[in-house]
């Protein structure tokens, strides 16, 4: 039996805030600090005309068994028209999104992050999570797909530019 959702990529997409600072030696010390993490799915979906992708429910299973959370649906979803030959459609969906609330400040020409361990822990939690997608078919059957963990997406907490 084939999965309804056939992922090609499940990865982390990260957003950064840019700090333009000049170091004590007068040289630029341009730094980017992580502000948000998005878990993105790109792939194919079989039987797209017969299932309710817009009403799918997601569950996130973290690396420890204590961190199971229910997500009411895709945060964002785009589905192409179904290809008549293959019966599949293209899908791009946001499985999860978190703002990092990074506490960053400039001090003596460098960017200091006081909660770097908390931000790193949140990033690692998302990077090591598995997502279960529950989809209702139009005939009443329910289908579950498991996706992840998100591979790829270079998301360091701090990047030097």
Per-residue pLDDT tens over the stretch 33-52: 999 999 999 999 998 888 99
* Residue 2's pLDDT band (cuts 50, 70, 90): low
The predicted-structure confidence for 63-119, as pLDDT tens digits, reads as follows 876 667 788 889 999 999 999 898 899 999 999 999 999 999 888 878 899 999 999
CA distance 118 to 136: 37
Angle at 71 between CA 70 and CA 74, to 5 degrees: 150
Q: How far apart are CA 161 and CA 156, in angstroms?
A: 13
Confidence category of residue 24, pLDDT binned at 50, 70, 90: confident
Average pLDDT over the chain reads: 88
Burial 150-161 (b: 16+ CB within 10 A, else e): beebebebbeee
Catalogue the long-range contacts made by 115-119 (C-beta closer than 8 Å, 24 or more residues apart): 116/157, 116/158, 119/34, 119/157
Residue 137 bridge partners (DSSP): 51
Percent of the chain with pLDDT over 90: 50
Q: How far apart are CA 20 and CA 30, in angstroms?
A: 5
Q: What confidence tier does 152 reach under pLDDT thresholds 50, 70, 90?
A: low
Predicted pLDDT of residue 117: 94
Write down the pTM of the prediction: 0.85
109-136 average pLDDT score: 91
Q: What are 77's two structure tokens?
A: 């979803």
User: Tokens 């878990």 label which residue?
Assistant: 39
Residues in the chain: 161
Whole-number percent of the chain with pLDDT over 70: 96
């Amino acid at each position: 039996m084939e999965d309804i959702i056939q992922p090609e990529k499940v990865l982390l997409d990260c957003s950064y805030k840019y700090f333009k600072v000049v170091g004590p030696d007068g040289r630029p010390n341009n730094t980017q600090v992580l502000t948000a993490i998005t878990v993105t799915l790109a792939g194919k979906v079989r039987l797209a005309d017969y299932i309710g992708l817009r009403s799918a429910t997601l569950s996130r299973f973290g690396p420890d068994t204590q961190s199971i959370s229910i997500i009411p649906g895709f945060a964002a979803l785009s589905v192409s028209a179904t290809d008549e030959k293959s019966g599949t459609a293209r899908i791009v969906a946001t499985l999860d999104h978190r703002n990092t609330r990074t506490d960053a400040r400039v001090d003596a020409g460098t960017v200091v992050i006081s909660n770097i361990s908390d931000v790193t822990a949140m990033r690692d939690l998302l990077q090591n999570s598995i997502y279960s997608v529950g989809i209702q078919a139009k005939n009443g059957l329910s289908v579950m797909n498991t996706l992840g963990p998100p591979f790829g997406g270079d998301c360091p907490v701090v990047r030097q530019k």
